[in-house]
Amino acid sequence: MIRDLVMRRATIDDAAALAEIHMEARAAAMPWLAVVHTPNEVFQYFRQDVIPGSDVWLASSPAGIAGFSARLGSELGHLYVAVPFWQQGIGTALIQMAMLTVPRLELWTFQRNTGARQFYEGHGFTAVAFTDGSENEEREPDVRYRWEGPDDQA
């Protein structure tokens, strides 16, 4: 775990950093994944949609923004760690923060993204659905995960 890690809510001023982390982490973790948006489209998406419309948390260190998560209701739409910060506990800090805020989390990840699948399963998520990818932009088979906290009655 990184020393001096600070969790804070994202602001519009963080949009460029979040977009960069998103694009770089996806490219590094999933080089096989189709790129369907330009960098400017990704930036605009974070600036106009994700940050104002979601509960977005940053993990920040003295070296910069290490990662972020974005949740809307029980849907965890994004959890990305900047490549230089991989394997340092940032993802765990972010998922634990999300788990503290709601009694249940759900998310999608790609079936071939074995690193993400191991991460989520290691944090108590269960696969509840598999698709052929026809409903996502990348046309990549995906898997739906769910985590239910100890007090979730739904």
The pLDDT confidence band at residue 1, using thresholds 50, 70 and 90, is: low
What would the pLDDT profile of 42-86 be if each residue is shown by its tens digit?
999 999 999 999 999 999 999 899 999 999 999 999 999 999 999
Going from the N-terminus, what domains does the chain have, and what CATH number goes with each?
A: 6-148 (3.40.630.30)
pLDDT of res. 152: 53
What would the pLDDT profile of 34-43 be if each residue is shown by its tens digit?
999 999 999 9
- 41 Cβ neighbours under 8 A, 6+ residues apart: none
- Picking from 88, 129, 83, 85, the residue whose alpha carbon sits closest to that of residue 109 is 129
C-alpha distances in angstroms, 78 versus 61, 73, 114? 19, 13, 16
- Residues 63 and 45: beta-carbon distance below 8 Å: no
The predicted model scores a pTM of 0.93
What would the pLDDT profile of 85-144 be if each residue is shown by its tens digit?
999 999 999 999 999 989 999 999 999 999 999 999 999 999 999 999 999 999 999 999
